[in-house]
Chains A and B, each alone.
Chain A
Amino acid sequence: MEQTAFETEVDRNFDAFEAGLGSILGAHRGEFALMRHGAIVAYFADEPDALAHGRLRYRDGIFSVQEVTDRPVDLGFFSHAIDSRIA
């Protein structure tokens, strides 16, 4: 499937975010970075706030938001419950 402009932006921003994570963790751990074209534009305390500012600031929707963390998101057990159908 063809990659969308949103996915391309997310991938580019994530690569830049990972590369620079070590230098921002100390000051911004747990915050949410609003990113555009591979650069961090601003930090927010709450993810919906970061997304809302991104929507207001970039009408084309080309931006992403990354939580400043070095820990993986735990999706638990059921994210791999493939077809244990409930009767």
Chain B
Amino acid sequence: MRSIHGSLNQLRPLIEVSIGPPPGADGLRETCLALIDTGATRTCLTQSLIGKLGLEAKAKLLVASATSGPERRRAYGYTLGLFCSDENQGAKTLYVIGAEFVAPWFQDNGNFQVLLGMDILSRGRLSFQMGGDFSFEFSF
């Protein structure tokens, strides 16, 4: 089982992730900041990140949020890479999950480019410790 570890940033669980094209496709990968967001049922990517990577539309979703009613949004195919901790060496290694997921866009903002939602988080084990450290274990 692989794992990532982090510490809260102003009480927000932020991690670096790598977003790229679907398995087997050529294209850029981008390392960017993600918020672990258990309030989002789906992972989503900013509009500018989707445009920069040239991701393909692969679905359309009816989406809602805490501040807006339902609307239809396209969702784009991507692969997710996580920087996993190596318990023996203490180093971090990029592990790109070999499956394609789809994510709707959300607004560009100055904080993060990815909201890591429950579609991904529910495939692993997320835990928080006293003091603000957290970990996510997974076996994709």
A11→B60 contact, CB < 8 A: yes
**In the complex the two chains form, is B115's CB within 8 Å of A74's CB?**
no
A51-B77, A80-B68, A81-B109 are contacts. A74–B40 as well, Cβ < 8 Å?
yes
Hey, what's the 0/1 contact readout for A1-22 against B, CB within 8 Å counting as 1?
0001011011101100000000
In whole angstroms, how far apart are the Cα atoms of A86 and B109 in the complex? 11
> How many positions in chain A have a CB within 8 Å of any CB in the partner chain?
37
Task: Give the tally of cross-chain contacts (CB within 8 A).
Answer: 130
Contact B104 A64 (CB under 8 A): no
Instruction: Please choose the segment from B84-92, B94-102, B129-137 that sits at the chain A interface, where 4 or more of its residues have CB less than 8 A away.
Output: B94-102
Contact bitstring B56-81, A, C-beta under 8 A = 1, else 0: 11111111111110101010010000
Q: Is the interface of A mostly helix, strand, loop or mixed?
A: mixed
A80 to B108, CA, bound (A): 9
- A48–B14 Cα distance when bound, in Å, is 25
| Distance in Å: Cβ of A50 to nearest Cβ of chain B | 9
Minimum CB–CB distance from B12 to chain A (whole Å) comes to: 7
Q: Known interface pairs A64-B57, A85-B110, A86-B9. Does A77 touch B65 (Cβ–Cβ under 8 Å)?
A: yes
Kindly state whether residue B35 has any CB partner on chain A within 8 Å: yes
**CB contact between B58 and one of A6, A74, A75, A78 (< 8 Å): that residue:** A6
